Amino acid sequence: MMENIKVHVRKKDTVMVISGKDKGKIGEVLAVMPKTGKVVVKGINVVSRHTKPNKANMQGGIVKKEAAIFSSKVMLYCNSCKSVTRISHKILDDGTKVRVCKKCGETF
């Protein structure tokens, strides 16, 4: 039985790739797969797929799409301090738990 791997980013987070062929690129997380520990990031790890014609794509042919990369290769990007950061958690007065930038204190 496969267990879920804890992934430190969520869907719609802005992340920067910290290793690999797309190192330094910034993109938005489109999907998170905790069972495999991977994420799909917009504009990162773009691969060519040969697709057959179907109802959605009548032409078929070569289609460019984003492939999944390991979540350990991305790091959360803070838009306010314009750098990659780790996150800490903070409990607000009303009892809600929020993610906070370690460098500037901005909430995500």
Which tens digit of pLDDT belongs to each residue from 73-87?
A: 999 999 999 999 999
CB atoms inside a 10 Å sphere around CB 14 = 17
- Beta strands 46-51 and 69-70: pairing type? unpaired
Write down the pLDDT at residue 52. 92
Residues 11-56 have pLDDT tens digits of: 999 999 999 999 999 999 999 999 999 999 999 999 999 999 989 8
% of the chain with per-residue pLDDT over 70: 98
As beta bridge partners, residue 97 has 91
Query: What does the alpha-carbon distance between residue 41 and residue 33 come to, in Å, rounded to a whole number?
Result: 12
- Do the Cβ atoms of 98 and 92 come closer than 8 Å? yes
Residues 1-22 have pLDDT tens digits of: 568 888 999 999 999 999 999 9
Mean pLDDT for the chain overall: 93
Q: Which CATH number fits domain 14-101: 3.90.226.10, 2.30.30.30, 3.40.630.30, 1.10.1740.10?
A: 2.30.30.30
Tokens found for residue 35 = 């069972």
Cβ neighbourhood burial of 72 (10 Å; 0-12, 13-18, 19+)? middle
